[in-house]
Structure 1
């Protein structure tokens, strides 16, 4: 029950006005509150939702061990899709089940409590504990044995979808030294991502930004190795007016071709894809944490948490006018804590 009080508020013109506290609106009973059949039906629905979560967890564990990537893109896709869908149902069953339970079975009476000091007296704390106990009793969990069992099962099993992959990966390949090298090497053609079509220097206009991957065979593009190697070799290439470049670092004077310059697309902060190019300022922006790199000044950091420039890919053209790499990146790609001496 709430008590009605008069509240005084200042009037804009200086007078005082009074209004009555409207209190809590009249409680409206739900079907489950008045109809035993509706109550039982709602309980069954909640049980089904949590059962879906249990099944989703079991399928996720099965998929992790049974539907393993076989080294092909199709195999990786099937493994990822199966595992993802199963975990979705495991999580969705818990979330939707909890919401439906709260909406249909738990008490929905609105109450008002006066605000007190942070530390309540002992007798008040005892009352609060009793109210928690009453709330548990009111939720019906004690007398709904099937519901209690399926809720406990769903909550207990779901963490396995995360714990099992983590535990099974212990002892795996954690060698970050693999980030020192990529597929880029002398003579590798630059191609459009994702088509793999080689790029001619004459096709790149001033002000444009092109997403680039190294040229590989069609057979290699179907392998699982290509997926991880492509992720390391992603490049963003931009063409500027050569007059916009700031003085190049010593030894890098010939790493561009007619205003075309290429950098690793992997942010040196935490590895997000740097893909936003601002043509007027020649800045590259990482969308994750707003690290900003100046393309005209060797992709140096001008803002944000990144600690070093984007690694540059030295480029030139071959005899047919196609853009090719002069060598690999000038430094290890990715976040700074992956950097190692060559």
Structure 2
């Protein structure tokens, strides 16, 4: 059974006279321990704990050329880690999450195409340099000691001497006098801290502002362009053919949610056409335009069987009848493909009359219009 002064929270018997349990042969009262220096307490605790030092490689002499070179090397590594972390944050801020007024111009090439690789590369480099800096600091600026130590239960004596050992270890690190490393650590901590906050960007900026899942780039009067950027006139397509078109926005637009199928119906299909309610005038002559995004799981649909008037999705075999307002007639899709209202401009080219009146894409996407 344990003595009262060995239980958790005990002062080690310091409140009673006589030799203290947990101390060495000599009597060390709390008052006597309070008069000892940290170095003395550190040595006393080590001796009491049965520490046997087997080997010591001393740290570089303070102020020596070796130490100064090691300090510069470690500080440079930490500073580069901070720069990499800040750079990763700047790249991420360009997405608009933290700086809405400054965003990348999304293009097929250029810096915007490297957005994700830059974030991953710079973030990975920053964390790698943090590890390299810590290894260099440990290897080049700290003494290396091999020792064997027995462990004891807690007492006031143990707590005081262990605290002195910890403070002695902090003094051994030499951060208080190695200001260059301290400053680089602060700089690195700021950069890495910001970098680790990047995943919270979605909590800072509401991604649903402007109803991005309910709108596309199509607007009134915007021309329908082929993938090569050329506009289309009625008569450019053969009856029964399909052409994938995109909105004519500055710089080009190949965004997947704006991809649209422009279909020219055959004469017999025109006679069978039954538009959806309220969409009788969405087509132009024998042309109709439907979203290329399947309403089941978002796959691109463009397999068109003109003999059966059906658009097929290759992912899960949903089929949509273009003569019935692209209503699903087979497969897992339950919602028709949204139809883009079209007409022609003064020069005779196809243009959109508005954006889609319903959200494109899967049925589980948010459809509230703003």
Give the match's secondary structure for 2:262.
strand
TM-aligned CA distance change 1:338 to 1:321, over 3 Å: same
Residue 218 of structure 2 aligns with which residue?
184
Contact 1:284 1:295 in 2 (8 A): yes
* Structure 1 unmatched runs, 5+: 1-59, 88-162
Contact 1:242 1:258 in 2 (8 A): no
Contact 1:239 1:261 in 2 (8 A): yes
Quick one: distance in 2 between partners of 1:202 and 1:299? 22
Listed one character per residue, the Cα deviations across residues 296-317 of structure 1 (whole Å, up to 9, x for unaligned) are 2111111222221111011122
Quick one: distance in 1 between partners of 2:257 and 2:345? 24
Report 1:155-304 matches (<5 A).
166-175=199-208, 177-193=211-227, 195-218=228-251, 221=252, 230-244=255-269, 245-304=272-331
Shift, 1:172, TM fit: 3.9
Quick one: distance in 1 between partners of 2:85 and 2:241? 46
Contact 1:262 1:312 in 2 (8 A): yes
Contact 1:209 1:239 in 2 (8 A): yes
Give the match's secondary structure for 1:79.
helix
Quick one: distance in 1 between partners of 2:343 and 2:114? 39
Quick one: distance in 2 between partners of 1:83 and 1:286? 34
TM-aligned CA distance change 1:295 to 1:175, over 3 Å: same
Give the match's secondary structure for 1:311.
coil
Shift, 1:82, TM fit: 4.7
TM-aligned CA distance change 1:169 to 1:257, over 3 Å: same
Quick one: distance in 1 between partners of 2:310 and 2:197? 42
Give the match's secondary structure for 1:296.
helix
Quick one: distance in 1 between partners of 2:263 and 2:114? 35
* 2:330 matches 1:330: no
Contact 2:276 2:324 in 1 (8 A): no
Shift, 1:266, TM fit: 1.6
Residue 368 of structure 2 aligns with which residue?
340
User: What's the TM-score once normalised by structure 1's chain length?
Assistant: 0.51
TM-aligned CA distance change 1:217 to 1:67, over 3 Å: closer
Report 1:92-107 matches (<5 A).
none
Residue 348 of structure 2 aligns with which residue?
321
Listed one character per residue, the Cα deviations across residues 139-173 of structure 1 (whole Å, up to 9, x for unaligned) are xxxxxxxxxxxxxxxxxxxxxxxx98755544443
How big is the alpha-carbon RMSD for the aligned residues of Structure 1 and Structure 2?
Answer: 3.6
> Would you say how many aligned residue pairs link Structure 1 and Structure 2?
206
Q: Which has the higher contact order (CA 8 A, sep 6+)?
A: 2
Shift, 1:341, TM fit: 5.0
Contact 1:235 1:264 in 2 (8 A): yes
Give the match's secondary structure for 1:302.
strand
Quick one: distance in 1 between partners of 2:198 and 2:248? 33
Contact 2:245 2:261 in 1 (8 A): yes
Quick one: distance in 2 between partners of 1:341 and 1:67? 31
Shift, 1:181, TM fit: 2.5
TM-aligned CA distance change 1:83 to 1:258, over 3 Å: same
User: What's the TM-score once normalised by structure 2's chain length?
Assistant: 0.47
Residue 75 of structure 1 aligns with which residue?
111
Listed one character per residue, the Cα deviations across residues 258-317 of structure 1 (whole Å, up to 9, x for unaligned) are 311101112212322222222322222222322221112111111222221111011122
